[in-house]
């Protein structure tokens, strides 16, 4: 008895035809017919009744064919498991993330994943959300981690977004700032403050609305590098507005160099709450390795909530 014989009788049972089974398995009809005949001789029973209506399992053959089907399913599972393990050893993922994701959240997930799969290669780049969308659409990355509020979903029906985290913007001040002792801050208290601002369209719009409504703030510079922004705040050069999720496990916050404070009483067409998540193409099939990495990300994110 050979594995091929079991595969042949299962396929013939599905199709009720030796010729169709031969086409599906890319072998000749004579190969399948001879294999079934030899198996029937070995077992001492007829598995099929052959007629112009096709190949129909016999009463005594049905139980044999059922067990053959179970064996073939297990063989497929073994092959899939081997392929998945191979992909985890030799595979690669390309992804891009917005700055708020890139700080310790994503890096911690990567560290945990690499402990289990040290040889797997992950290529990460930091991009703004619109650039992430473009890279996903062009197939340059497997998926992106972006801010949903910065994406026009009506214009991108071919994309799928899955929310992973909800966050809010906090005012970040130096520990020596007079503002550092406040439980919360209001817009009026921030007038005339020097600000280092994240370089994003929605952030610029929110700050513009803020200054139009309450008064000017001195913009020292803008940057899409959150480490540069936090360094500037820690040295007392300016205040800034950063997402709370970007400050989780942050060394500046842990050391007390930066004090994050909630902003109250500011109503904007762009809420100070933000949604972050996974962006992918509907056409993109995720490998087993990619699914495992996303599980690792989601597990770490769930611990932050």
Per-residue model confidence (pLDDT) at position 204 = 67
Average pLDDT, the chain: 83
Give the CATH number for residue 36.
1.10.10.10
Give dist(CA 286, CA 127) in Å, integer: 21
pLDDT tens-digit readout, 97-121: 886 666 566 777 888 888 877 777 8
Do 243 and 122 belong to one domain? Answer: no
| Residue spans of beta strands (DSSP E) within 205-257 | 218-223, 239-243
**Residue 238 and residue 182 share a domain:** yes
Q: Is 246 found in the same domain as 195?
A: yes
Q: Check residue 101 and give its pLDDT.
A: 61
Q: Quick one: average pLDDT of 45-52?
A: 88
Confidence of residue 304 (pLDDT cuts 50, 70, 90): low
134-171: pLDDT as tens digits: 898 888 898 998 877 666 666 777 888 888 877 788 89
The enclosing domain of 155 has a CATH number of 3.40.190.10
* Residues 62, 130 within the same domain: no
Measured distance CA(266)–CA(264) in Å, rounded: 6
CA 234 to centroid of chain Cα atoms: 32
Looking at 45, 73, 88, the residue that finishes a domain is: 88
Share of the chain above pLDDT 90, in %: 27
Residues 172 and 247 reside in one and the same domain? yes
- Looking at the structure, tell me whether residues 99 and 38 fall in a common domain: no
Residue range of the domain that includes 40: 3-88
pLDDT score of 197 more than 80:
yes
> Which two three-digit tokens encode residue 184?
């919360």
Q: Is residue 214 domain-shared with residue 297, that is, in the same domain?
A: no
Residue 270 has pLDDT above 70, yes or no: no
Number of domains in the chain: 3
Same domain for 298 and 150?
A: yes
The CA distance from 109 to 276, in Å, is 16
CA distance 13 to 47: 10
In 3D space, the residue among 242, 189, 194, 243 whose CA is nearest the CA of residue 214 turns out to be 189
């Amino acid at each position: 008895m050979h594995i091929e014989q079991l595969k042949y009788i299962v396929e013939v049972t599905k199709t009720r035809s030796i010729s169709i089974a031969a086409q599906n398995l890319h072998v000749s009809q004579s190969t399948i017919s001879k294999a079934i005949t030899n198996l029937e001789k070995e077992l001492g029973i007829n598995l099929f009744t052959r007629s112009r209506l096709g190949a129909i399992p016999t009463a005594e053959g049905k139980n044999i064919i059922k067990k053959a089907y179970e064996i073939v399913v297990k063989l497929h599972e073994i092959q899939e498991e081997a392929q998945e393990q191979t992909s985890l050893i030799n595979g690669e993922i390309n992804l891009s993330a917005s700055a708020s994701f890139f700080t310790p959240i994503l890096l911690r997930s990567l560290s945990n994943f690499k402990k289990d799969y040290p040889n797997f290669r992950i290529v990460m780049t930091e991009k703004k959300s619109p650039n992430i969308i473009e890279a996903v659409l062009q197939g340059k990355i497997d998926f992106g981690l972006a801010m949903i509020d910065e994406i026009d979903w009506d214009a991108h029906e071919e994309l799928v977004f899955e929310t992973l985290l909800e966050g809010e913007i906090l005012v970040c001040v130096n520990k020596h700032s007079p503002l550092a002792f406040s439980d919360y801050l209001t817009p009026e208290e921030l007038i005339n403050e020097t600000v280092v601002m994240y370089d994003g369209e929605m952030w610029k719009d929110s700050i513009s609305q803020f200054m139009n409504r309450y008064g000017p703030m001195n913009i020292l510079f803008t940057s899409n590098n959150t480490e540069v922004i936090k360094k500037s705040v820690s040295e007392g050069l300016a205040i800034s507005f950063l997402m709370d999720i970007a400050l989780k496990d942050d060394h500046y916050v842990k050391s007390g160099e930066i004090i994050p404070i909630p902003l109250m009483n500011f109503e904007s067409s762009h809420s100070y709450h933000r949604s972050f998540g996974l962006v992918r193409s509907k056409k993109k099939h995720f490998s087993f390795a990619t699914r495992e990495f996303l599980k690792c990300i989601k597990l770490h994110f769930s611990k932050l909530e």
